[in-house]
Amino acid sequence: MKVIILAGGKGTRISEYTKEIPKPMIRIFGKPILSRIIRLYQSYNFNEIIIAAGYKNYIIKNYYKNKKKFSKVKVVDTGKNTMTGGRILRLKKYFNKNENFFMTYGDGLSNINLKRLKKFHESHKKIATVTTVRPPIRFGELSIGNKNIVKKFEEKPQLKSGWINGGFFVLNYKVFKYIKKDSTLFEREPMERLAKDKNLIAFKHHGFWKCVDTLKDKLYLDEIYKKNKKNELNKKIL
């Protein structure tokens, strides 16, 4: 199954690094975030990976070209100012009708079991599966009903608690009809409509998950990797 990794944003909240490099190329304990995400998928034998690049995309292209272990990684320039939905839409030509594929962001690390995620998605036959997590901070929040059907999706709510968007998706080709143009933010109208249509379901992940949004997040993960170098957790998040 193919994988899309969104890696085109500017990452303004961690400008200490992103003035010079794309956010997914920030190193966590010696390796780019993007490489750690790629290796996670490769560890489950999901090797056909498409990186939706944008901001300073040449840095990503130069890093991954001519490297044997990344031979099936394709870097595609999806535009400097394209939003998340638009980046996904620009990659439509790489997929066949009715095909399922993974999608994730280039700034989140986890020990998620991708084979379980895939199997879960295939079992319910919805258009989209979103991995949900419960970290101490708030991102996009989901209201989950019976049989894990997502009743409502709201990105970055204020003063709410519960399950949030963990960023590891399985999507069906039909998702492209929910995305209109380059300026479409996937986390807004497409996910809101998928939830309204009862075509968005949640895969609850109770293990490790961390998004690199700020310098504090980067330093925290550096320490996690340092302390757990020989720990099973570190092996799983690569």
Average pLDDT over residues 44-70: 95
The predicted pLDDT at position 159 comes to 41
Averaged pLDDT for residues 194-219 = 95
Per residue in 98-156, pLDDT tens?
999 999 999 999 999 999 999 999 999 899 999 999 876 555 667 788 888 888 777 65
Residue 5 near residue 35, CB atoms below 8 Å: no
pLDDT at 158: 42
Chain-centroid distance of CA 184 in Å reads: 17
What is the mean predicted confidence (pLDDT) over 168-186? 98
Q: What percent of the chain has pLDDT over 70?
A: 90
Which is higher by pLDDT, 225 or 58?
Answer: 58
Full set of structural domains in the chain with CATH: 3-237 (3.90.550.10)
Q: How far apart are the first and last CA of the chain?
A: 20
What's the pLDDT tens digit per position in 74-87?
A: 999 999 999 999 99
